[in-house]
Structure 1
Amino acid sequence: MNEVSVDASKGSVFEDVLEVLWAPGKVFDRSRAKGVGMYILVLTAITLVIVLATKGLIQPYVDANFDLQMRQMAAKGTPMPPEAVAAAQKFSGYGFIATGVLLIPIGAVLTGLLVWIGGKIASAKFSFGQAMLIATLASVPKVLGFIATAAQGAIADPQTIRSFSDAALGAARFVDPVSTSPALMALLANVDVFNIWQLLIIAIGISVVGRVERSAGFVGALVAWGLGVAMSVIPALLA
């Protein structure tokens, strides 16, 4: 028993970030008492490097997404003035870089809050800081999503790209983003390989850190996921 304890305490931040992809239970067991700060810092740095390195490959998706938004605004009778389009398109490129900076810290707080709520419903006992730790480590598959999009951008014909949904490894890939309602697109965007992977890691995190059965961990994770989906779909319904 003592050997297992010593073993469980080992593991650097970098090791945890990698190993959480295939052995989340071990990672959460040895990191439950660690602070979340270094994980946020390291993952933010990694994400920013990936975003900057792959920006050229992902840019066609950014441009296509911008064009789709312009068409949707025009269809609603609120087209953007021509003189503002160029500035807005340039801003969208900077916005993508900002995503690399903000994805992890904002996700740690917002997703951490949802994990904390889900954990409470599942009778798991952990602090908000530990909920942020679970959310941060569970965001690693999201970081891989940038690499997957870039890999597709390297071989895709930019003229055929309609929006970011064309790079999705899930349900959103199989519908037309032009004719499909934004609310439905927002819903489908949450059903892909990386979101499901994130959901599984959160479930295991709630179970291990909160010391509850795995089934309770999945209940908590599904609650957190459902709240997250509602936060993305409701604004699209109201727009």
Structure 2
Amino acid sequence: MGAGIQPPTVAQGSEGNAFVDVVKVLFEPTAVFERVRARPSFFAPFLAIIAVQCVLFFVNLSYLKIAVAAQAAAAGRPAPGTGALAAFGLIGLIVVLGIIFMLTGLILWVLASVLGGGEAKFSTMLSVAAYSAVPSAILLSVVGTIVLYLKGAGQITSPQDMQPALGLDLLVSGAKGFVGAVLKGINPFSIWGLVLMAIGVSTTQRTSKGNGYTAAVAAFVILLLIGAALSAAFGG
């Protein structure tokens, strides 16, 4: 008699649009990651992030031309044309984002497997990495663009100057190189992403919040140090 009125708990966990979840993850992260647990989805958040980044790339292209021209002049070499800059910039953007997500997913996969006592699914951790990147890859980029347009191009001498101070770099004016990149990487949006990552790991792996935050913090620190080292190596 009761069989006909049993709630479809399993089906509810897999319902939802993966693209809509790119927005919902900001407000309902647990529900989104429950759906990710049932059905991993990397391409929806990845494509959404790529789309936003491509739009912002063209919005900021005039500033990028100024920054690259100033950097090229300082190095005594000619600046690339607009077409070449746009082509290489877009290709580089997609490739770099893809590498970042793959690396983040790999780190989370290893950490979640170790902390959870069983092997995690790489596709699930890759999805967690993509969804948890929404605050930094979308919101921070939009805010950064707004700040850039408010400040203008007066003090831009390199592409790094296009990234306004929104994190701990506000406390240390003029910080450059490795330290500057580390400080810039610690901001409200990256911390928001860290929290989402912790919720994603703990929800999808059915592990404790402590293990989720341990994995998220460790991944955050590793990626922050790698990013800062690369930024310093390329003159950031």
Band the TM-score falls in, shorter-chain normalisation: 0.7 to 0.9
* Alignment pair present for 1:191 and 2:186: yes
Deviations along 1:193-231, one digit per CA (max 9) or x if unpaired, are: 221111111100100011111121001101111111221
- Structure 1 distance, partners of 2:128, 2:225, is 20
- Structure 2 distance, partners of 1:70, 1:120, is 46
TM-score (norm 2): 0.78
Alpha-carbon distance change, 193 to 133 in structure 1, aligned in 2, over 3 angstroms: same
**How far 1:96 moved relative to its partner?**
4.1
Alpha-carbon distance change, 103 to 51 in structure 1, aligned in 2, over 3 angstroms: farther
Which segments of 5 or more consecutive residues in structure 2 lack a partner in the other structure?
A: 1-5
* Alignment pair present for 1:206 and 2:190: no
Q: 1:144 aligns with which of 131, 139, 142?
A: 139
- Residue aligning to 2:21: 16
Cα RMSD after superposing both structures: 3.1
- Residue aligning to 2:100: 107
Deviations along 1:139-169, one digit per CA (max 9) or x if unpaired, are: 1112222211221123213214464475232
- Residue aligning to 2:122: 128
The aligned length equals 225
Q: Which segment drifts farther, 144-153 or 200-209? A: 144-153
* Alignment pair present for 1:32 and 2:47: no
Which segments of 5 or more consecutive residues in structure 1 lack a partner in the other structure?
A: 72-78
Q: Which amino acid aligns with 2:116?
A: S
- Say whether the 8 Å CA contact 2:42–2:123 is kept in structure 1: no
Q: Which amino acid aligns with 2:209?
A: R
- Say whether the 8 Å CA contact 2:13–2:38 is kept in structure 1: no
- Structure 1 distance, partners of 2:117, 2:144, is 35
TM-score (norm 1): 0.78
**How far 1:137 moved relative to its partner?**
0.9
**How far 1:93 moved relative to its partner?**
5.4
Deviations along 1:34-88, one digit per CA (max 9) or x if unpaired, are: 24353255325523443245224xx436744774x669xxxxxxx73x2x24139
- Structure 2 distance, partners of 1:211, 1:85, is 55
